[in-house]
Amino acid sequence: MYSSDFLSHQYSQNPCVLNQLVDNHGRKITYLRLAITDRCNLRCHYCMPEGGVTLIPHADTLSYEEMERLVVLFQDFGVTKVRITGGEPFARVGCFEFLQNLKNKVGVDQLHITTNGVETAKYLIRLKQAGISGINLSLDTMDRKRFKEITRRDRLDRVLATMYGALELNIPLKINSVVTAETSDRDIIALADLAKLHPINLRFIELMPFSGRSKVATSCNHTLIHRLECLFPDLQERRADTVSTARQFGRPGFLGSIGIIEGSSRTFCATCNKLRITPQGMMKACLYDDGVLDLRKLLRSGVSDNKIALKICQCLNHRYADGHETEMANVQQNEPSMATIGG
């Protein structure tokens, strides 16, 4: 594996030499999270204000063609996994066709989607046919009243239709559940029951206080893991066999697994293999940075793919070691919502 310094130099001499993106800490980039919209049909209280976020004008959002070009480019440089997220991806017209293109035309190896499931059920058969690698479904409770309180919308039935539909089609399914102070033990136990009965990878997510600049984020991890250990004393931690943001636990008799994503504690930075692109085309080398490269500007300036690749490579040469370091260096800006980043 080459250092990005070396690759950067080699690349400026001969672009074909660069076929891997490696940061200044030796972390290879293989995973791209692409947020295709900031629009959403829910208003989860931990993510968005009731009135929604100030919407990005359509003209300032990357077009599908621009995103496709970027995916091709990242793929050429070793990215094998792409996750489409939002906002709510299916809130953008043409989302399914874009996914289909990424799989069938661009040939993305592992294509995933993160969705709230409200509009997803009707696409499931076609997603399966297109070869989707997995769905991450956000679901914080199995109780209709609680769901309405959390999301400010009465849509639990639709989300469950997506969940059971995906299970029926054997689409690999992860469920993301944000745990807040209001999350009851009943919520947690009912969600865990899903992983008992079905091959679901259930992940409890540490709440990230918005805007992610977590001056107040301290011992959530401690609280969350201990809460789970209290509720389920027989949790058995599994050794991570892949680069993962979740710690995984099994339980006797469970078809699925339980995990926790310690976003606030940032325990997974040492192996971080991902880059994010926001709906406006800002590349983020870390969830906590303010954006390190304006890809939209580059794309619209008419420069070649080689030039864009070189810029990406140069950014990776200055990547912070972890989220804490990034946060210290990026103090001035507030992201209004996770929906503008993609989670």
Binding residues for ligand SF4, per CB under 6 A?
A: 40, 42-44, 47-48, 86-88, 116, 138, 338-339
Nearest approach, Cβ of residue 314 and ligand SF4 (Å): 31
Nearest approach, Cβ of residue 65 and ligand SF4 (Å): 24
Q: Look at residue 43 and give the partner it binds from ligand SAM, ligand SF4, none, a contact being a CB closer than 5 to 8 Å depending on partner kind.
A: ligand SF4
- Closest to ligand SAM by CB, 21 or 228: 228
Burial of 98 per CB tally in 10 Å (0-12, 13-18, 19+): buried
The identity of residue 187, as a single letter, is D
Cα separation, 323 vs 343, whole angstroms:
14
CB 63 within 8 A of CB 295: no
Q: Look at residue 23 and give the partner it binds from ligand SF4, ligand SAM, none, a contact being a CB closer than 5 to 8 Å depending on partner kind.
A: none
Q: Look at residue 208 and give the partner it binds from ligand SAM, ligand SF4, none, a contact being a CB closer than 5 to 8 Å depending on partner kind.
A: ligand SAM
- Closest to ligand SF4 by CB, 15 or 134: 134
The position carrying tokens 């400010």 is: 152
List the one residue out of 188, 198, 211 whose CA is nearest residue 139. Answer: 188
Q: Look at residue 207 and give the partner it binds from ligand SF4, ligand SAM, none, a contact being a CB closer than 5 to 8 Å depending on partner kind.
A: ligand SAM
Burial annotation 236-273 (CB, 10 A radius, 16+ → b, else e): eeeeeeebebbbbbebeebebbbbbbbbbbbbbbeebb
Q: Tokens for 269?
A: 């930075």
Q: Look at residue 279 and give the partner it binds from ligand SAM, ligand SF4, none, a contact being a CB closer than 5 to 8 Å depending on partner kind.
A: none
Q: Look at residue 326 and give the partner it binds from ligand SAM, ligand SF4, none, a contact being a CB closer than 5 to 8 Å depending on partner kind.
A: none
Cα separation, 235 vs 8, whole angstroms:
45
CB 205 within 8 A of CB 179: yes
What is each CA distance from 268 to 42, 196, 220, in whole angstroms?
A: 29, 26, 15
Nearest approach, Cβ of residue 116 and ligand SF4 (Å): 4
Nearest approach, Cβ of residue 46 and ligand SF4 (Å): 7
- Closest to ligand SAM by CB, 246 or 315: 246
- Closest to ligand SF4 by CB, 44 or 188: 44
Cα separation, 305 vs 245, whole angstroms:
30
Q: Which residue is nearest to ligand SAM (CB)?
A: 343
> Which DSSP string corresponds to 227-264?
HHHHH-TT-EEPPP-S--SEEEEE-TT-SSEEEEE-TT
- Closest to ligand SAM by CB, 138 or 278: 138
Contacts of 299 (CB under 8 A, 6+ apart): 62, 66, 69, 70, 281, 308
For binding to ligand SAM (CB under 6 A), which residues are involved? 40, 46-47, 85-88, 114-116, 138, 176, 178, 205, 207-208, 210, 263, 338-339, 342-343
Q: Look at residue 48 and give the partner it binds from ligand SAM, ligand SF4, none, a contact being a CB closer than 5 to 8 Å depending on partner kind.
A: ligand SF4
- Closest to ligand SAM by CB, 256 or 343: 343
Nearest approach, Cβ of residue 341 and ligand SAM (Å): 7
